[in-house]
Amino acid sequence: MGLREQKKKQTRKAISDMATLLFIERGYHNVTTAEIAERAQVSVPTLFNYFPTKESLVFDEDSEMEQNLVNAVLNRKKGQSILDALLDLGLENIDLISKEHKKQYAVFMNLVESTPELSLYSKQMWMRHEKSLSKVIQKEAKKKVSALEAESVARFVLDSYYRAMGEANPKSALKILFALLKEGWRQ
């Protein structure tokens, strides 16, 4: 990555971090984009060059997350199942959220879930990720699977990531949920 691209990435992150911090401190509806731009030391048009909407300010890693899901399937180890590759990705992401950041994650999720606009944006984002993941699952599966099957697996995988993060031991929870997906529910 060149210096210019690195600078853009840093600016994007700084804007998003400032917006998220202000939203958490004062509430989403009590912060303007002009205030975010000023605090991030960019112009309002520059802010909107990086983020097309106020809601998108909070989700600066949206594209990267989607690409990571697709890459986990496409670049999995030889002989590794799609589900094992996606489990590995989930476990790696849990490791990235260290214990000290887990509290910040909970605060962030509270902001998203308690703000209707952010909650809607988050759901729409996950639906886009689900669609991308289901397409690659359908394409890469060893046996032919229908769109319905691939979409269901993608939804369960993404929901498992979300649910596991709310548990005391997210890694254990994620492994349990993936085992359920791989083996089925036998009751």
Mean pLDDT of the residues in the chain? 94
CATH of domain 3-54: 1.10.10.60
pLDDT value, residue 99? 60
Intervals of the chain under pLDDT 50: none
Per-position DSSP letters for 146-170, written without gaps between them = -HHHHHHHHHHHHHHHHHHHTSSSH
Residue 176, C-beta contacts closer than 8 angstroms, at least 6 positions apart: none
The two structure tokens encoding residue 55:
């809601």
pLDDT value, residue 120? 97
- Give the CA dihedral 62, 152, 110, 27, nearest 10 degrees: 50
pLDDT value, residue 186? 81
pLDDT value, residue 100? 55
pLDDT value, residue 139? 97
